[in-house]
């Protein structure tokens, strides 16, 4: 009897272990993925199509330039350098993305989220005030702020999908590296997403949602458009 239960348990364990693995869905790498019921349509994949491994070279796994400031984002006070699958093809399917940010003094990396990744940052130069918001389980309408002042050599992490920010509180440029556990983490800038949507959200809805008047809403649209 004992041997029978042992064999049965072993068989059930093997069944449970095998089938979920074969049916597992990967995390999405696009914001949307609309199904096309057309066998002649172009192929869209959750990531990038792979080249023949025999054609890969060391350069596919190499990037140079993270030691210098990148492209300035107009009006936002920071420059950004990205190391992703577009400039390092070998990253495809490895679930990684690296970025460098150079943030001007007294400027803010606006409230944003990464819907598909946890972000870990480390400061190379300057001083940042940074933090993220966690919904308050006891009060649906409130959140808890986890924040810290960080300096060169310090590391801070933002859990996946949570709203966070980085503020350069110093008098010189702040430089930090960001590491994401997704090939395509996504970037949702909260104010711009709300006040610069296309087509726009109606003024009535925004006024009610933020308990403001329409004059205030028009001003916010102008600032974030």
Give the end-to-end CA distance of the chain in Å, rounded to a whole number: 73
pLDDT in tens, 131-147: 999 999 999 899 999 99
How confident is the model over 59-78, as a mean pLDDT?
91
Residue 99 annotated in ligand binding: no
Tell whether 205 is in a known binding site: no
* pLDDT given for residue 16 in this prediction: 42
What pLDDT score was predicted for residue 208?
95
Q: Which of 141, 214, 124, 111 is nearest to 175 (CA)?
A: 124
Amino acid 49: pLDDT: 84
Say if residue 114 carries a ligand binding annotation.
yes
Tokens of 7: 């064999």
Structural domains in the chain, CATH included, are 53-210 (2.60.120.10)
Q: How confident is the model at residue 26 (pLDDT cuts 50, 70, 90)?
A: confident
Q: According to the annotation, is 125 in a ligand binding site? A: no
- Whole-angstrom Cα distance, residue 66 to residue 89? 16
Residue 42 pLDDT class (50, 70, 90 cuts):
low
**Whether the predicted pLDDT of 40 surpasses 80:** no
Would you say residue 122 has pLDDT above 70?
yes
Q: How many residues does the chain have?
A: 225
Q: Is the pLDDT of residue 158 over 50?
A: yes
> Minimal CA–CA distance to 114: which of 44, 209, 27?
27
Q: Which residue has the tokens 């199904």?
A: 35
Mean pLDDT in residue range 121-130:
98
Backbone angles phi, psi at 46, to 5 degrees: -85, 70
């Amino acid at each position: 009897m004992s041997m029978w239960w042992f064999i049965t348990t072993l068989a059930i364990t093997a069944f449970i272990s095998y089938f979920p693995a074969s049916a597992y869905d990967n995390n999405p790498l696009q914001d949307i993925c609309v199904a096309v019921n057309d066998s002649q349509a172009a192929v869209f994949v959750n990531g990038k199509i792979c080249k023949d491994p025999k054609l890969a070279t060391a350069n596919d796994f190499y990037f140079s330039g993270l030691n210098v400031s990148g492209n300035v984002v107009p009006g936002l006070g920071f420059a950004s350098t990205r190391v992703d699958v577009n400039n390092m093809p070998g990253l495809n399917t490895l679930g990684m993305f690296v970025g460098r940010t150079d943030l001007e003094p007294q400027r803010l990396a606006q409230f944003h989220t990464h819907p598909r990744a946890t972000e870990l940052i480390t400061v190379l130069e300057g001083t940042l005030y940074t933090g993220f918001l966690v919904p308050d389980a006891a009060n649906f309408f409130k959140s808890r702020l986890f924040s810290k002042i960080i300096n060169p050599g310090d590391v801070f992490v933002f859990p996946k999908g949570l709203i966070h920010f980085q503020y350069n509180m110093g008098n010189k440029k702040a430089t930090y590296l960001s590491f994401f556990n997704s090939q395509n983490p996504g970037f949702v800038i909260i104010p711009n997403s709300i006040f610069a949507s296309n087509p726009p959200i109606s003024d009535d809805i925004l006024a009610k949602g933020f308990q403001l008047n329409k004059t205030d809403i028009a001003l916010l649209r102008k600032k974030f458009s």
